[in-house]
């Protein structure tokens, strides 16, 4: 879009949506007259109810879907469209004046009941799609909002019974994409035997977040960062993902995967790639993903000596309601050693980053909700201020309260000639007061309609990420390594902070970013 930032902030939300829509129409490979059918496989599940249907509603409400779009739910449950509407309504955020639009949206929905392993059910689904207006030649999007255990049978049945021949076919696959390198390769081989790579959209919702997408713009659209974005100037890169809640009834699911598979191998490695990759030759999907793969290929498998694992225990010390530990969750197997916290140090063995530690830390039941990228720069050479200078940092805060800020030294105001730490702060809610930031799923589902795969995971990316973590995961599980205990609501195990200090990160700054909405 050609509008400047100042012009955008002055526009109404309606104006912004209009510009965004026209930009998408110009770039997309669909015609507005085409019919599109979005098939939600697993329509009765939580993901469909809480994310997929609400996302489709928000896109429809903003006029961002192609005009002739139909939504077909498919699941084993005996549901009706009325049942689906009742189930999803609490998550739609419908204002009074939008109820007429909601009726139109519901009218575009239908439902087919069937079994995931039954070819006849999918032939019935195909017949239903063809019965829709212009359905025979419709573009088809299949969203697998399903457990991985049924991926193989569902995708085989899609290929054999439901592929349209008049338009394109695209399949959206939710993580987890396997549990280790072997299982991931098996799934990839199965999918690649059925579909072309340009038909597969492996969705990692973190790639749809505003500040994750902003990493490429910050790096490659600003001259000031290019010369310093390397091992000569950056001492440490820390990527953080913290949640202030535990598994709380979902421990049975979580225990099969653990924090490394749940967060680190996918979300955090995608952020690492965007921080570390070289400038792509263009913003085309393959050019961007080629550079991400090069980063991953330069990372050796993680060494256990560079890892700290933790598992939260209950906190009965503080005031208010006591917090239960991971093993207190009745859905968690007794005596489980599954980590709920991990700090991992890895190194990228290429010319730009050789020797720079990349620290990935993530966990549940910690002291705050936060996801960020923090680049800590090296000490200023030739210090003339008697060691009063703190290290500069560039922080990209992904959530909550999106922000970009730089910690820097400035002269202390007044009758002083001494440095103190301050900041240059771009907090989105302050700078872009009237701009709605789309949900990650909104961006990504719209990308699938438009045929853009830049923010989706390619099979070779997936293979390299699993190569890095599989030896560590097998060691943890085969040797049943017991994680360190940390208290619910703490920063995590103290040993994790010690690991950061050992690899050169300094907790020495006096400035801490404060959410301006709380001032």
Contact, 228 vs 380, CB < 8 A?
Answer: no
Q: What whole-number distance in Å separates Cα of residue 61 and Cα of residue 58?
A: 5
Q: What is the pLDDT of residue 424?
A: 77
The residue among 288, 216, 296 whose CA lies nearest residue 461 is 296
Give first-to-last CA distance, the chain, whole Å.
34
Contact, 406 vs 423, CB < 8 A?
Answer: yes
Mean pLDDT within 72-76 = 95
Q: What whole-number distance in Å separates Cα of residue 142 and Cα of residue 162?
A: 10
Q: Contacts for 223-229 with beta carbons within 8 Å, 24 or more apart?
A: 225/394, 228/377, 229/352
Buried b (16+ CB within 10 A) or exposed e, 325-364: bbbebeebeeebbbbbbbbbbbbbeeebbeebbbbbbbbb
Residue scoring higher pLDDT (25 or 64): 64
Mean pLDDT within 502-515 = 73
Residue scoring higher pLDDT (408 or 233): 233
Mean pLDDT within 110-118 = 95
210-407+426-435+467-503 CATH fold: Dihydrodipicolinate Reductase; domain 2 (3.30.360)
Q: Residue 304 to residues 50, 181, 333, 470: CA-CA distances in angstroms? A: 37, 18, 25, 12
At 97, list the tokens: 């004046």
Q: What is the pLDDT of residue 151?
A: 94
DSSP 408: E
Predicted confidence (pLDDT) at residue 516 exceeds the cutoff of 70 = no
Q: What whole-number distance in Å separates Cα of residue 46 and Cα of residue 42?
A: 9
Contact, 364 vs 259, CB < 8 A?
Answer: yes
Q: What is the pLDDT of residue 3?
A: 40
Q: What are phi and psi of 451, to 5 degrees?
A: 85, 20
Between 5-9, 119-123, 291-295, 384-388, the lowest mean confidence (pLDDT) is in 5-9
Q: What is the pLDDT of residue 176?
A: 82
- Confidence band of 2 (pLDDT split at 50, 70, 90): very low
Q: What is the pLDDT of residue 513?
A: 57
Q: What is the pLDDT of residue 7?
A: 40
Residue scoring higher pLDDT (140 or 211): 140
At 211, list the tokens: 């500040």
DSSP 57: H
Q: Residue 394 to residues 225, 344, 348, 359, 408: CA-CA distances in angstroms? A: 10, 21, 20, 15, 9
Mean pLDDT within 168-188 = 92
Mean pLDDT within 51-80 = 93
Q: Residue 151 to residues 154, 155, 206, 372: CA-CA distances in angstroms? A: 5, 6, 22, 32
Q: What is the pLDDT of residue 407?
A: 81
Q: What is the pLDDT of residue 482?
A: 95
Give the distance, in angstroms, between the CA of residue 452 and the centroid of all CA atoms in the same chain: 16
User: Angle CA(35)–CA(38)–CA(44) in degrees, nearest 5?
Assistant: 150
Q: What are phi and psi of 203, to 5 degrees?
A: -90, 125
Q: What is the pLDDT of residue 402?
A: 82
Mean pLDDT within 255-273 = 92
DSSP string, 278-343: PPPSSSSHHHHHHHHHHHHHTPPPPPGGGEEEEEEE-B-SSSSSPBPPGGGSTTSPTT----SEEE
Predicted confidence (pLDDT) at residue 29 exceeds the cutoff of 60 = no
The domain locations on the chain are 13-174, 210-407+426-435+467-503
Contact, 166 vs 231, CB < 8 A?
Answer: no
Predicted confidence (pLDDT) at residue 234 exceeds the cutoff of 80 = yes
Residue of 36, 205, 267, 455 marked catalytic: 267
Mean pLDDT within 104-122 = 94
Catalytic residue check, 267 = yes
Contact, 477 vs 354, CB < 8 A?
Answer: no
Q: What is the pLDDT of residue 178?
A: 87
Q: How many Cα atoms within 13 Å fall on the side-chain side of residue 481?
A: 18
Between 24-33, 200-209, 375-384, the lowest mean confidence (pLDDT) is in 24-33
Predicted confidence (pLDDT) at residue 118 exceeds the cutoff of 90 = yes
Q: What whole-number distance in Å separates Cα of residue 183 and Cα of residue 466?
A: 10
Q: How many helices (H) and strands (E) does the chain have?
A: 18, 15
Q: What are phi and psi of 462, to 5 degrees?
A: -60, -45
The residue among 485, 490, 486 whose CA lies nearest residue 318 is 490
Between 11-20, 85-94, 105-114, 261-270, the lowest mean confidence (pLDDT) is in 11-20
The residue among 469, 451, 379, 389 whose CA lies nearest residue 422 is 389
What is the value of pTM for the model shown? 0.86
Residues 6+ apart with CB under 8 A from 204: 175, 266, 267, 270, 456, 457
At 196, list the tokens: 């072309």
Instruction: Write out pLDDT tens, residues 415-437.
Output: 777 777 777 777 767 777 777 77
Mean pLDDT within 484-490 = 94
Q: Residue 500 to residues 236, 237, 343, 489, 505: CA-CA distances in angstroms? A: 9, 10, 9, 20, 5
13-174 CATH fold: Rossmann fold (3.40.50)
108: enclosing H helix or E strand: none
- Confidence band of 9 (pLDDT split at 50, 70, 90): very low
Give the percent of the chain with pLDDT over 90.
Answer: 60
Q: What is the pLDDT of residue 511?
A: 54
**Cβ neighbour number for residue 392 with a 10 Å cutoff:** 21
Contact, 167 vs 196, CB < 8 A?
Answer: no
Q: What is the pLDDT of residue 317?
A: 60
Q: What is the mean pLDDT of the chain?
A: 86
């Amino acid at each position: 879009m050609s509008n400047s930032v100042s012009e955008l902030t002055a526009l109404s939300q309606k104006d912004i949506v209009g510009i965004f829509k026209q930009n998408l129409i110009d770039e997309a490979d669909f015609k507005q007259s085409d019919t599109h059918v979005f098939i939600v496989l697993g329509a009765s599940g939580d993901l469909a109810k809480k994310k997929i249907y609400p996302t489709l509603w928000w896109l429809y409400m903003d006029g961002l879907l192609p005009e002739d779009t139909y939504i077909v739910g498919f699941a084993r449950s005996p549901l009706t469209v009325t049942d689906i509407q009742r189930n999803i309504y609490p998550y739609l955020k419908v204002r009074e004046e939008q109820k007429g639009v909601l009726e139109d949206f519901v009218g575009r929905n239908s439902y087919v009941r069937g079994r995931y392993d039954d070819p006849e059910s999918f032939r019935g689904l195909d017949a239903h799609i063809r019965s829709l207006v212009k359905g025979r030649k419709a573009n088809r999007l299949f969203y697998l909002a399903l457990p991985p255990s049924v991926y193989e049978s569902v995708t085989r049945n899609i290929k054999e019974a439901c592929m349209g021949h008049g338009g394109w076919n695209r399949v959206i696959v939710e993580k987890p994409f396997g549990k280790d390198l072997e299982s991931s390769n098996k799934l990839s081989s199965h999918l690649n035997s059925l579909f072309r790579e340009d038909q597969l959209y492996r969705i990692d919702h973190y790639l749809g977040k505003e500040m994750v997408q902003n990493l490429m713009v910050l790096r490659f659209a600003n001259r000031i960062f290019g010369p310093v974005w390397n091992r000569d100037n950056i001492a440490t890169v820390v990527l953080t993902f913290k949640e202030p809640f535990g598994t709380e009834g979902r421990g049975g699911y979580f225990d099969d995967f653990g924090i490394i598979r749940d967060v680190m191998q996918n979300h955090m490695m995608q952020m690492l790639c965007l921080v570390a990759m070289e400038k792509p030759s263009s913003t085309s999907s393959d050019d961007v993903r080629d550079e991400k793969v090069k980063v991953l290929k330069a990372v050796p498998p993680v060494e256990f000596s560079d890892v700290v694992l933790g598992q939260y225990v209950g906190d009965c010390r503080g005031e208010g309601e006591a917090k239960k530990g991971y093993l207190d969750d009745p859905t968690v197997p007794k005596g489980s050693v599954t980590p709920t916290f991990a700090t991992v140090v890895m190194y990228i063995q290429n010319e730009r980053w050789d020797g720079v530690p990349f620290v990935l830390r993530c966990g549940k039941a910690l002291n705050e909700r936060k996801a960020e990228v923090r680049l800590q720069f090296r000490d200023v050479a030739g210090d003339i201020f008697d060691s009063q200078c703190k290290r500069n940092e560039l922080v990209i805060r992904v959530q909550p309260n999106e922000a970009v800020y730089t910690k820097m030294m400035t002269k202390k105001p007044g009758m002083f000639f001494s440095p103190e730490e301050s900041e240059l702060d771009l907090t989105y809610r302050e700078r872009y007061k009237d701009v709605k930031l789309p949900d990650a799923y909104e961006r990504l589902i719209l990308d699938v309609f438009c045929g853009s795969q830049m923010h989706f995971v390619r099979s070779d990316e997936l293979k390299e990420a699993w190569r890095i973590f599989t030896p560590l995961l097998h060691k943890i599980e085969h040797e049943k390594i017991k994680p360190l205990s940390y208290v619910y609501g703490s920063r995590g195990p103290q040993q994790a902070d010690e690991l950061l200090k050992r690899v050169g990160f300094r907790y020495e700054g006096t400035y801490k970013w404060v959410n301006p909405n709380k001032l």
